[in-house]
């Protein structure tokens, strides 16, 4: 489960909504 990718996609849309703890240090 690559959640980091989801954050990147959301950020690109301009709707950065960290629903869960941002763990950029995961795989």
Q: pLDDT by residue for the chain (27 residues), tens digit each?
A: 556 666 666 666 666 656 666 666 665
Longest CA pairwise span in the chain (Å): 24
**Confidence at residue 16, expressed as pLDDT on a 0 to 100 scale:** 60
CA–CA gap between residue 5 and residue 24 (Å, rounded): 9
**Confidence at residue 19, expressed as pLDDT on a 0 to 100 scale:** 63
């Amino acid at each position: 489960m690559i959640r980091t990718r989801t954050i990147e996609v959301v950020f690109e849309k301009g709707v950065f909504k960290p629903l869960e703890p941002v763990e950029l240090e995961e795989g």
